[in-house]
Amino acid sequence: MPKKAKSTEQKAGFAHPKSGQENINRREQSLNELRDSLAVRLKAGDRAAAGEFVDIYHERIYLYMRRLGHNRQTSEDLTQESFFQAWQHINQLKNGKALNSWLYRIASNVSKLHWRRHKGRESDSIEGIGIDVPEIDESGLDKVEHYEQLGRLKNAVANLPIKLGQAIVLHYMEHLTIAEAAEAAGVRQGTFKSRLNRALETLRKQVI
């Protein structure tokens, strides 16, 4: 499943601007309408549905892997592995409403297994969390402070403990609800909220 990874990352940011919220809402509404029928078709073994599934979620899962700290090539490999595992365990999918959290749970497990197997081997090639700070020329000097703050925020998230960083990524960067994010992380909602609060407090101390 080759993708233009770098181009994908350049379109991604830490948080969506308010001006783009309507587009996000429309996209999510459209996805919600597709999920129920897609889940039924996937569980029936429909290969066309599998293709649609990949088209819808490939970019999101790839960026999720990048934001968890994997380099580009590893993120591509782990994204493919996530979809392979999803197809292999499709009968575990309850319904379309659970599609988001179910896929992110699989991706989280794939990422966790990779880190366990390759602990320390990828550290020299990690390229951050999938947020590219744009280059600045003389005409953009008034934006320097903004980009510096974004850079500090990126580094702060990347340096969080894995579980806290995952909480920030799932809720604020992947835009999963608390319920979906908790399911994806494999913990209760109360535990997830606690991790999220601890992560935010740590970021406030480091960035502000």
Q: Residue 183 sits in a domain of what CATH number?
A: 1.10.10.10
Q: Residue 96 sits in a domain of what CATH number?
A: 1.10.1740.10
d(CA 130, CA 67): 5
Are residues 108 and 153 both part of a single domain? no
Are residues 188 and 165 both part of a single domain? yes
Query: Which of 74, 98, 130 lies at the terminal end of a domain, its last residue?
Result: 130
Are residues 38 and 73 both part of a single domain? yes
Is residue 79 assigned to a domain? yes
Query: Which of 111, 130, 149 lies at the terminal end of a domain, its last residue?
Result: 130
Using alpha carbons, list the distances in angstroms from residue 54 to 39, 58, 82, 86, 149. Answer: 13, 5, 10, 10, 34
Are residues 11 and 114 both part of a single domain? yes
In eight-state DSSP terms, residue 173 is: I
In eight-state DSSP terms, residue 131 is: -
Are residues 175 and 203 both part of a single domain? yes
Are residues 56 and 153 both part of a single domain? no
pLDDT at 21: 62
Are residues 114 and 155 both part of a single domain? no
d(CA 36, CA 34): 6
Are residues 18 and 91 both part of a single domain? yes
Are residues 88 and 187 both part of a single domain? no
pLDDT at 162: 87
pLDDT at 46: 87
Using alpha carbons, list the distances in angstroms from residue 147 to 8, 20, 151, 206. Answer: 19, 19, 6, 16
CB 166 within 8 A of CB 104: no
Residue 55 token pair: 């088209």
Full domain range(s) for residue 100 = 1-130
**Cβ density class 119-156: b for 16+ within 10 Å, e for less:** eeeeeeeeebbbbeeeeeeeeeeeeeeeeeebeebbeb
Is residue 46 assigned to a domain? yes
d(CA 103, CA 118): 23
Q: Where are the alpha helices (DSSP H) in 44-188?
A: 47-67, 72-88, 99-117, 144-158, 162-168, 178-185
Is residue 25 assigned to a domain? yes
Per-residue pLDDT of the chain (208 residues; tens, 9 = 90+): 555 555 555 555 444 445 556 766 676 677 677 788 888 888 888 889 899 999 989 999 999 999 888 889 999 999 999 999 999 999 888 888 888 899 999 999 999 999 888 775 554 333 444 443 334 344 444 444 555 566 677 778 888 888 998 999 999 888 899 999 999 999 999 999 999 999 999 888 876 5
Are residues 80 and 108 both part of a single domain? yes
Is residue 57 assigned to a domain? yes
Using alpha carbons, list the distances in angstroms from residue 164 to 41, 92, 156, 185. Answer: 35, 27, 11, 11
In eight-state DSSP terms, residue 122 is: S
Are residues 54 and 121 both part of a single domain? yes
Are residues 118 and 28 both part of a single domain? yes
Residue 89 token pair: 């365990």
Is residue 173 assigned to a domain? yes
Is residue 136 assigned to a domain? no
Is residue 135 assigned to a domain? no
Structural domain count, the chain: 2
- Establish how many alpha carbons lie within 13 A of residue 56's alpha carbon, considering only the half-sphere containing its beta carbon: 19
Is residue 80 assigned to a domain? yes
